[in-house]
Amino acid sequence: MGIEQANCMRRFIRMCDDGWVEGWHESNGGNLSYRLDEEDIRVVMPYLKVSGEGHDWVGIGRKEPDIANALFLVTAAGSPMRKVSIDPTLNCGIVEIDASGSAWRRVWGLRNARPTSEFLGHLLAHAALIRDADGDSRVVYHAHCQNVIALSLILNASEAEWNRALWGAMTEVVMLTPQGVGVLPWMLPGGRELAEQTALKIAKHAAVVWSQHGLIATGPDFDETFGLTHTIEKAASIYLKARAANGGRVPDHLVAPAQLREVCDAIGASFNEDLLQ
Ligand code: 2HA
Ligand code: ZN
């Protein structure tokens, strides 16, 4: 077996293809990372290389003890999602974090490349997921979903506004995101501020809107994370269509607060009612 047949590799590559098919990854847009579990590490270990040229430690610029010694599968900077399945060793790779959580090194793949330009954001999001969320989430996915971006051109960067629109557009949304999506205003892509602010939001919300840019979503596995992204993007598209059909006004028949409450009661979810105020 080659490393490409490892379960985590196959699922990672499949998700890159799925996002490309959805049209979320023009050019080199978007990126994906996955924190390997013990079984993944056992399977990939024979293929890893930890020393020699190109395997030096590179500082993260801060200490993140929550991710110390973790291994991440991650897309490469500047690489098109469309090409991950065609040439995985060039367009993605595995990096190891050192024992203090302050540096990474390449242990497989990333041929002539570094991890994604949003790598700091991914690392801080993973650290927040381990520290502040349930600790089970291993996937961080950033996609340039066109309807989410379009909606950010007409809504304010307000969590109340966004969640009323998305929850209201389609009953499914509140089931997947009873805590609602987090929302950030425009910030420089790949920048420290975007990474830090995203990590703060990820502690409370499984997905965060990056205004005029896209979405970042997290989850325990590839299917759930892709499904969450897909659901938010679909709700954004429905809301936009309904609003356009309504002459640009907020649609008259959004899923109502009492209905959202009923759904959450039925599935035993604790629901972030503050966002309805
Ligand atoms: O990977 O999407 O946000 C390119 C980007 C930066
Ligand atoms: Zn982006």
- Lay out the sheet containing 182-184: strands in order across: 58-59, 103-109, 92-97, 71-75, 31-35, 139-143, 214-219, 207-210, 182-184
User: Given the CA of residue 213, which atom of ligand 1 is nearest to it?
Assistant: 3
Give the pLDDT of residue 29. 98
Q: Which residue is catalytic, options 118, 159, 196, 262?
A: 118
- Report pTM: 0.98
Q: Interior CA angle at 128 toward 187 and 88, to 5°?
A: 75
Instruction: State how far Cα 153 lies from the chain centre.
Output: 21
111 HSE (CA, 13 A, CB side): 6
Question: How high is the mean pLDDT in each 10-residue block of the chain (277 residues)?
Answer: 95 98 98 98 96 94 98 98 97 98 98 96 98 90 99 98 98 96 98 98 97 98 98 98 98 97 95 88
Q: Is 16:84 a contact under the CB 8 Å cutoff? A: yes
Is 118 considered catalytic here? yes
Q: Is 175:263 a contact under the CB 8 Å cutoff? A: yes
Q: How far is the CA of 261 from the centre of ligand 2 (A)?
A: 34
Rg (CA), the chain: 19
Give the pLDDT of residue 133. 79
- Amino acid 6 reads A
Q: How far is the CA of 251 from the centre of ligand 1 (A)?
A: 32
Nearest CA owner, ligand 1 atom 3:
189
Give the pLDDT of residue 132. 87
Distance (Å, rounded) from C-alpha 130 to C-alpha 111? 29
Q: How far is the CA of 4 from the centre of ligand 1 (A)?
A: 24
Give the pLDDT of residue 161. 98
Which protein residues are within 6 Å of ligand 1, measured from CB?
A: 28-31, 116-118, 142, 189-190
User: Given the CA of residue 116, which atom of ligand 1 is nearest to it?
Assistant: 1
Give the pLDDT of residue 134. 75
Q: How far is the CA of 267 from the centre of ligand 1 (A)?
A: 35
Give the pLDDT of residue 95. 98
User: Given the CA of residue 30, which atom of ligand 1 is nearest to it?
Assistant: 2
- In the chain, at which residue ranges do the beta strands (DSSP E only) sit? 31-35, 58-59, 71-75, 92-97, 103-109, 139-143, 182-184, 207-210, 214-219
Query: Which ligand is nearest to the Cα of residue 28, counting in written order?
Result: 1
